[in-house]
Amino acid sequence: MEKGFFKNFFKSEKGDPGESLLFEQKKQKMEEMAKQQAISTGISSYWQEARRIAETCGMFRAGPRGYNNLGLFVTSGMEILQHEPELGYAILSQMNGLEPEVGYQPAGRLMVTLGQMESRSCSPILSSFRYLEERPELFHLISDQDYRYQKAGKLIAVGILWAGRTISDAAHIYHQNQFDPSVKLSLDKELRNWNTKIAEKIIK
């Protein structure tokens, strides 16, 4: 299922050229937002933050066996969701670079985990986080499942728009993956908030 994310499609976009331009402008804006969010949070490198999260969550220690470890991906996903969606995706998109050290490409697996947050048995995993009083955003994510689904949907929306080379590519990514109902509700809302007409072309 992970293969739907981060896959490049080299085909031309058909349809309204104005929509294609708007799509490209949105992607550029997301990149700029991620840069500004990184500056405001003191992150100087997406790559280094991806490595920090992998180290914190035990990805290096688990090695190839970590691929089937739900807890590893839930905790990694929660670390990423503490960031704004654009910055979170920019960090997450670096994680495939960890393949030589962990034995697999984590990014797609992470996106799938975020998309299925509602159906995963997360409670025992989430209870393992420490120092929540020092991490208010993490506490909010853990204590409020609706907020967790909302943020997951927003990050996935950014991922679909950012990874898709064209509108039709974005639609292809959207339909190659399965999302839990509450996450999908947030995802679809975020896409429509950006542009209703283009969102319908992706969602239909």
Q: What is the 3-state secondary structure (H, E, C) of the chain?
A: CHHHCCCCCCCCCCCCHHHHHHHHHHHHHHHHHHHHHHHHHCCCCHHHHHHHHHHHCCHHHHHHHHHHCHHHHHHHHHHHHCCCHHHHHHHHCCHHHHHHHHCCCHHHHHHHHHHCCCCCCCHHHHCCCCCHHHCHHHHHHHHCHHHHHHHHHHHHHHHHHHHCCCHHHHHHHHHHCCCCHHHHHHHHHHHHHHCHHHHHHHHC
pTM for the whole thing? 0.87
Taking residues 171-192, report their average pLDDT: 96
Taking residues 149-164, report their average pLDDT: 96
What is residue 140's predicted lDDT score, i.e. its pLDDT? 86
**pLDDT tens for each residue of 94-145:** 999 999 999 999 999 999 999 998 876 655 555 566 655 677 888 888 888 8
For all residues of the chain together, what is the average pLDDT?
A: 87
**pLDDT tens for each residue of 29-53:** 999 999 999 999 999 999 999 999 9
What is residue 120's predicted lDDT score, i.e. its pLDDT? 67
pLDDT classification of 66: cutoffs 50, 70, 90:
very high
